Structure formats: structure tokens, C-alpha cells
Amino acid sequence: MRIGIDVGRATSTAVLVDAAGRVLAEAVVDSAPRTGLCVRRALAALGPLPGPVGAVAVVTDLARRPPRPRPVAVLRIAPGSHAALAPLADWPEAARTALGGLTGVVAGGSAVTGGSLGPLDRDGVAAFAARARDAGVRVFAVCAAGAPARPGPELDAAAVLAAAVPGASLSLSYETGAAGLRERESATAVNAALGGWAEELVADCRAALRSARIAAPLCFARDDGGLVSAEYFARHPVIATAPASGCAARGALARTGLDRAVVVDAGARSVRCLVVRDGEPERSTRLLPGPFGVRLALGAPEIVETGGAEAATVPATVARLRERVPGADVLYTGGRAEAFGAPAGPGEPTGHREPATGGPDTRTDPRTTVLTGAGAAVRADARSDAARPLTGAAAPYGHRPRLTDAARYAAGADCRIEVEQVISAAGRAELDQALAAVRDHALSRCVAAGAAPGSVRIESLTHAPVAYLPAGVHRVTVRAAGAPASGGTS
């Protein structure tokens, strides 16, 4: 058995599923300020567990309780550049100030294909470490040119920093971002700044599991799908700051058997719309606003979000998104779903309605409408009937599918990682060898992210020549997944 817990702003939901993914018990409780307290309440509302739990997966957004970033010293290892391209130069002023604005550039790094750009300036790294130490900064983000192909300069710099600043916390870009230097640098700096938030969140959730006498591995949902272990999340929190809408969308599609839709997530404070195709939320290929207002390129789902005052724009947003997936279904999620055209009731398939902001729409359509997710409107029901045991055969998705899609998806999800590298190969045999090495690296990373070694597999591998580089240079993206390593109750 596994448990999924979706911690939202207004409500928190928990779902217990069996090995086949059928819901055995579910709970809905009011959210509290601290995530750990939400988890503790949700677990208590589930009641006595009928057997050992293999894993617990938590879904929560950074925006639910925005943290204060840790001061970070950002070190770039690369040839010099114009001041307009300096580290963090394109960040919002408030974000640079929050992180302390301590940056440096030292010689070294590699070309995108892995060729050396010169030896690492170790003296420069040591001098930068001294600056940070004198400023009271012990958190470092290190980004070297060409690190995805050749991480050695970052590892060497990390050794110098660790020796100069005992107890330093280090984020290295080759573990965090994609091939582009500045995009990877921004992701690594944000990752380092979020370390305190992640450590506190992990500690809170683990304390909640201990109070419930659950010794199962703890996982967290990541933005672009799947789970990672608590240990991996604590090192790489930037990949798991806004997973809620994506998890709810995946859960709704899994329940309905659809593989594409426009999802309207009408939550307590905002409305989020996203496109899902081939069972996965459509991922952005451009920079998107991330934590602290910094624009990041991490392949997260592209979500159009509006606040309560902008709710009237939702129908136009949905119409625009449907142009990208002609004929797609519209799925509604969240406590305010009915305000946007979703029918009242338990969320069973019914006639499609266009998104609305006012009265009912009597038009019908053969497409499917599904209600899912959590919202403020259900809190009274949650207080009166917090948990309900279920018969799996009778209610495979629970009695409250509109509330529990995100938690149910997380309860059955696999650990997943993605690796992107640029490789250089002179011929087919060399290319095959390089691709095999990237596959092996992805499988190892997936195990490091919490997957059971015997379950890991390659989900997808894509590669294509890089047009602006010499022949034989390919950009490779590999996704690997595996079932979370299981534990038991104490």
C-alpha cells in the first residue's frame, strides 16, 4: 500500500491505495500553516491502516507558504563576458538583493562538447570563498561552462570551497539544469537559495510520519511529473516547487482514460489552466517565472494562472489553449469548478460546457467533463466526514474524485528523473556508445532519486544534431523511472 497527500492552501487530502492503485481510504481536512501539521492531520483522518505502507508521497507548492531565501554566493567558471551577461544580471533586483548579490567569475570550464577552455583558477576560487566567508555566506551555487558534458571543473571548485568554508552547502549546476550556461546558473542559484525551505519541509513531514508510526520512505512530487525521494528533494528543491496542478491533471486523466485535455484548476485563490496531451502536461520550451520571480528553463508544465480578480479571463484562456489541441476535452478541477461551467454533482462524466463566469450554460457536447482537485468550498464537508473507508472494487477512485486526483496520482506515481547532455560522436558506433553511457547515467540518477534498483527503466530517449555546432554534436534527453523503494510501518 502507498499513501499520497496533497497539501493545498485551503484543504489537504490523503489517499491510501493498494498495489493495484485502488482507493482503500481517503481523507479531507482543513490545511494548517505548517505542512507537517497538514500531513499529521490528514494521516490521522485516514484512521488505522490495514497493513504496512510502502511509501508516502507529498504534493505541495512553494507558493502555499513562500520562504525567505538563503543568502547565496554564486560562482561562475567560464571565460569573461560583458557586464550585461554577468551572473544574475538578468534577475529582478529584489531577487538579487534577497540572495545577497555576491557573485564571482573565475577562469576555466569547458566548451559545450566537453573540450577544455583552460585550467581552473583555483586561487580565484579560494579568494571567492574567502569573500563569502567574510560576508557570512556559507551557501554556494557553482556553474561551469560545459558542465553537463564535463563536470570536473565544478567538482574541483567544490573541493576548494569546502576546504575553505567548513560546513558549506554546495549546489552544482551539472546536477540541476540544462545545457545553457545562464539558464543553468539561474536554476542552480535558486536551488541553493531554497535549501533551507526544503530541509525544513522534509523535517516537518518526517516528524508527521513518525507521529503516525509510519516508517515508509518519504517522497515529494516534482513539477514535471513523478516523484523523488526526500533526500533527493532536499538537494534539488528547484525541481519540485509547483507540482500540484500537474499532479491533479494527471490524476484526472488517469481516472477518465483520456490522453489529452485542457484542464481548468479552479482553486481557492487562483485559477490555473494547462494543456495535457499524450497523458502528460504540455511542458514549456521557454523561460517561465519561478521562485522569487526568477525566470527558469526546467521543462516545467506551462500553466496560465489568474487571480480571483481576473477570473473573467478564464473562458478566453481556455479557448486559446484548445486551439493547440483541437477537439480536446475540458476537465475542471478545484473547489470553484462550478463557477466556470462545470456541472454540480459527484464529478461523473457528463456533457461538456464552455467555461463560464456566471449562470448555467445549457449547451451540450459529446465531450467529457470531470471535476477533480481540492478547494475551499469543500471544507465544511471535510470537517463533517473527514475520512471514509472504501471498497476498492466498488469505488476504485474513491467517493470524492474531485478532491483527491492529485493525492491519488502521487500515491501511485513512480520516481522519475530527466538527464540532458550534449555529446560528440564521430560515427554511428561512437554515437551508440555515447547514448548508452547517457542511458546508464539516467538509470543511476533514478536510483539516487529514490527508485528501487530492480524497477528502473528508460521511459524515453531523444537525440538530435545541434544545428549551430559542427557535425556529430547531439543534444540528448533521457527520462528514466522506477517504483519508489518501499518500506514498512513501525
**For residue range 64-106, what is the model confidence (pLDDT) as tens digits?**
888 889 999 999 999 988 888 899 999 999 999 999 989 999 9
Which has more confidence, 14 or 255? Answer: 14
**Which of the four pLDDT bands, split at 50, 70 and 90, describes residue 37?**
very high
Which of 6-10, 227-231, 404-408, 460-464 shows the highest mean pLDDT?
227-231
Answer whether residue 125 shows pLDDT above 50. yes
Which has more confidence, 476 or 112? Answer: 476
CA–CA separation, 130 vs 69, rounded Å? 22
**What local confidence, expressed as pLDDT, does residue 202 receive?**
97
**Which of the four pLDDT bands, split at 50, 70 and 90, describes residue 13?**
very high
Which has more confidence, 20 or 235? Answer: 235
**What local confidence, expressed as pLDDT, does residue 399 receive?**
55
150 phi, psi to nearest 5 deg: -150, 90
Question: Mean pLDDT in the chain?
Answer: 84
Angle at 266 between CA 264 and CA 270, to 5 degrees: 115
**Which of the four pLDDT bands, split at 50, 70 and 90, describes residue 275?**
very high
Share of the chain above pLDDT 70, in %: 84
What percent of the chain is helix, strand and coil (3-state, nearest 5)?
Answer: 35, 25, 40
**Which H/E stretch holds residue 380?**
helix 379-384
**What local confidence, expressed as pLDDT, does residue 286 receive?**
79
> Average pLDDT in the 20-31 region?
90
Q: How many CA atoms lie within 13 A of 109 on its CB side?
A: 21
The answer to whether residues 299 and 179 touch, using CB atoms and an 8 Å cutoff, is: no
**What local confidence, expressed as pLDDT, does residue 289 receive?**
87
CA–CA separation, 223 vs 105, rounded Å? 31
Q: Give residue-wise pLDDT tens across range 287-304.
A: 888 899 999 988 888 888
> Average pLDDT in the 29-34 region?
90
**Which H/E stretch holds residue 37?**
helix 35-46
Report the DSSP beta bridge partners of residue 220: 58, 228
**Which of the four pLDDT bands, split at 50, 70 and 90, describes residue 165?**
very high
The answer to whether residues 390 and 398 touch, using CB atoms and an 8 Å cutoff, is: yes
Which has more confidence, 477 or 81? Answer: 477
Read out DSSP for 124-143?
HHHHHHHHHHHTT--EEEEE
Determine the 3-state secondary structure of 418 from DSSP.
strand
- Look at 24-33, 426-435, 462-471 and tell me which has the smallest mean pLDDT: 462-471
> Average pLDDT in the 14-20 region?
91
Angle at 231 between CA 225 and CA 237, to 5 degrees: 55
Q: Which long-range contacts (CB under 8 A, 24 or more apart) does 197-204 make?
A: 197/62, 197/67, 197/237, 198/233, 198/234, 198/237, 199/234, 200/67, 201/35, 201/36, 201/60, 202/230, 202/233, 202/234, 203/36, 204/34, 204/35, 204/36, 204/37, 204/39
Q: Give residue-wise pLDDT tens across range 413-463.
A: 999 999 888 888 888 999 999 999 999 999 999 999 999 999 999 999 999
The pTM score is 0.86
Answer whether residue 400 shows pLDDT above 70. no
Q: Which residue in this structure is represented by grid cell 482553486?
A: 267
Answer whether residue 385 shows pLDDT above 90. no
Which has more confidence, 111 or 142? Answer: 142
Angle at 50 between CA 48 and CA 55, to 5 degrees: 95
Determine the 3-state secondary structure of 347 from DSSP.
coil
Read out DSSP for 265-304?
EE-SSEEEEEEEETTEEPBPSS-EE-GGG-EE-S--B--E
**What local confidence, expressed as pLDDT, does residue 396 receive?**
57
Answer whether residue 350 shows pLDDT above 50. no
> Average pLDDT in the 206-215 region?
94
**Which of the four pLDDT bands, split at 50, 70 and 90, describes residue 395?**
low
- All three cell numbers of 19: 498495489
Residue 183: how many other CB atoms lie within 10 Å: 18
Which has more confidence, 139 or 345? Answer: 139
Q: Are strands 280-281 and 387-389 parallel, antiparallel or unpaired?
A: unpaired
- All three cell numbers of 144: 561551469
306 phi, psi to nearest 5 deg: -130, 150
Which has more confidence, 9 or 162? Answer: 162
> Average pLDDT in the 252-277 region?
86
Answer whether residue 384 shows pLDDT above 50. no
